Every structure is written in structure tokens, then in C-alpha cells.
Amino acid sequence: MPTCLFPFFQPSFLVPKVYTHMEPQNLTSVSDFFLLGLSEDPDLQPFLLGLFLSMYLVTMLGNLLIILAVTSDSHLHTPMYFFLSILSLADMGFTSTTVPRMIVNIQTHSRVISYVGCLTQMSFFILFGYTDSTLLTVMAYDRFVAICHPLHYPGIMSPRLRCFLVWVSVFVRLLDSQLHNLLVLQVACFKDVEISNFFCHPSQLLKLACFDTFTNTIIVYFIGTISGFLPISGIFFSYYKIVSLVLRVSSSAGMYKAFSTCGSHLSVVCLFYGTAIGGYLGSALSPSPKKDVETSVMYTLVTPMLNPFIYSLRNRVIKSALWRILHRTA
């Protein structure tokens, strides 16, 4: 039988109680995990450090420019761009939960993360990641109201409703993150402390448990499925209504204008859900640590980095606002 490893340098409320009829022997008390990262090859570390540091800086700068453009330009003080700025803020938080630690670990040649730090990282990872998916649904609803009910759009998408939708999105996702943590806290001992990724995730910690966690794992995947299915259902429903209306429009110019306002959002939705669902199904059907890490890089770093480019390159108003910001700072 595997030797159980009990993390003990933790607050008492974090440590679940264990009842057993056997006296444990040869216990090794630990309070840390080890993130294996992308590669253990020392020759690759400088390249990975430069690559991910550059991508992280581009991600933060791109999303920050979107937020500055929306807040500084009065032409962008509309519901659509308000939600876009919140999405950029969530993307910055989502990337910052994982990538900076990975960069520091590569720089310091240390892969250690504390048990409490692991739980904290999981909480923020799920909070920001799931908030992204909810905001994409809210943005789809915004496009539905703007296209299908243009005369009532200013009244429906009032500042009060906008703030309410954002706060509900954050609150619901905060509950999601805490529920995942509670499932992980049921694990009292671990057979290993090596996590085959560059960040902590509930499914990975459950795999390290020294007892059967089949029920917990099923619950984690069930919550993940529901948390992804409901938002994407809302997106499909909104665009079903939009397409149904636009196809009845006789003017080709009107059709082009309607679809052009949705193009950037649809591109981001496809990129976000394509990488997330691909990694989710891949890890569930054919577990492979290498593939999990590669997929994790896609949806934790590549997608948030590309979002500002997708919105700015396809949107003349944002490009104009960005140019004005650059001219002011020049």
C-alpha cells in the first residue's frame, strides 16, 4: 500500500479529519507540492522563460490597452464595450493566476508550491476562468438585444443591469471555485506530491489521493460540464435568435452590419471554448500529462493574449481609440 503523505502546516479548518482503524506507519509530513511544468530539460528553460515572459507581457499590455481605450473614449461608453473591458480584466486575472508563478519557478529553478498556495491558485483559476465563460454569454445576450430589439436596447441594457450581470457572474463563479476547493479538501492524504502541470487544478490533486476519489472526480467533471454547458447554451440561443432575424432582412448592407458587430465576439467564443472543451474532453477520454500541459498553455495564455488583437483588429472604433491613446503618450 502507498505511504500516505499528510500536509500539516495548514490552518486547522483546512485539514479534513481522518478516521481509521489502522495505525499509520512511516508517515512523511509535507506541506508542499511540486509543479513539474512544461519540461524538465535544463537546456529548454531559458527559451521557455523568454517565451512565456514575452507572451505574458503582451497579454497584460493588450488587455490593459483595451481597458484604457474603453474608459478614456466617450464613444466606447456603451454596454458592449463595458462588457469587453470587464472581459479584458478577467483575462488579466486568469493569466496572472498561473503564468507569473511558472515564470518565477523557471527563473529560480524551484517547482515548490505550498498546499495553501495550491488551494488559493485553484480558487482564482476557476473564478477567473469561469467568469470568462459567463461574460461571453452576457456579451452574446447584449448583441441579441442590440440587434433584435434596437429601439429598447438603451433601456434594457441600463447601467444598473450591466453591473448586476457582472456581479452575478463573479458571485456564481466564486461559489463554483469554493465548491471545487471543498471537494479537494476531502482528500486527507496523498500518495505523491508531484503535479504534472504548471499550476494546481482540482482534478490533478484528486489523482494524487491515496484512496479512491471516484465520486469526487465525477462531481468535479459534472460541475465543469454544467458550468460550461449553461453559458454556451445561452450563447447558442442568442445567436439563433440573431441569425433568425438577420436572415429575414432583405438588405445585404443590413445583414453585413449585423454580422460584423458579432464577428469579434464569435471568434473569441470559438477560440475560448474550442481550446477549453478540447482539453477537457482530451483529459477525460485519454489522459496524457504532456497533452494536458500543452492544452493548458493554449487556454491559460494563448487565448487571453489573442483576445485583444481579435477585438482591436476587427473594430474600427477601438483602433481609433487606441491610436488616440498612442498619440497622446508619444
Q: What is the pLDDT of residue 189?
A: 81
Distance from C-alpha of 289 to C-alpha of 274, rounded to nearest angstrom:
19
Distance from C-alpha of 11 to C-alpha of 115, rounded to nearest angstrom:
10
pLDDT average, residue stretch 74-96: 94
* Contact indicator for 237, 108 with CB cutoff of 8 Å: no
Task: Report if pTM > 0.75.
Answer: yes
Q: What pLDDT band is residue 16 in, cutting at 50, 70 and 90?
A: very low
Q: What is the pLDDT of residue 204?
A: 85
**pLDDT by residue (tens digit) across 94-148?**
999 999 999 999 999 888 999 899 999 999 999 999 999 999 999 999 999 999 9
Smallest Cα–Cα separation from 112: which of 195, 181, 190?
195
Domains defined along the chain, listed by start: 35-329 (1.20.1070.10)
Is the confidence at residue 12, as pLDDT, over 80?
Answer: no
Bridge partners, residue 29, by sequence = 6
Bridge partners, residue 195, by sequence = 35
Is the confidence at residue 191, as pLDDT, over 70?
Answer: yes
Q: What is the pLDDT of residue 26?
A: 31
With a pLDDT cut of 70, the percent of the chain lying above it is 86
Count of other CB atoms within 10 angstroms of residue 222: 10
Smallest Cα–Cα separation from 198: which of 54, 17, 21, 52?
52
CA end-to-end span of the chain:
66
Instruction: Please report, as a single letter, which amino acid is at residue 217.
Output: T
Is the confidence at residue 4, as pLDDT, over 60?
Answer: no
Q: What pLDDT band is residue 254 in, cutting at 50, 70 and 90?
A: low
Q: What is the pLDDT of residue 323?
A: 85
Count of other CB atoms within 10 angstroms of residue 274: 13
Is the confidence at residue 30, as pLDDT, over 80?
Answer: no
Three-state secondary structure call for residue 18: coil
CA dihedral of 41, 43, 47, 50, whole degrees rounded to 10: 90
Distance from C-alpha of 291 to C-alpha of 203, rounded to nearest angstrom:
15
- Structure-model confidence comparison of residues 85 and 225, the more confident one: 85
Is the confidence at residue 149, as pLDDT, over 60?
Answer: yes
Sign of CA dihedral 76, 79, 83, 84: negative
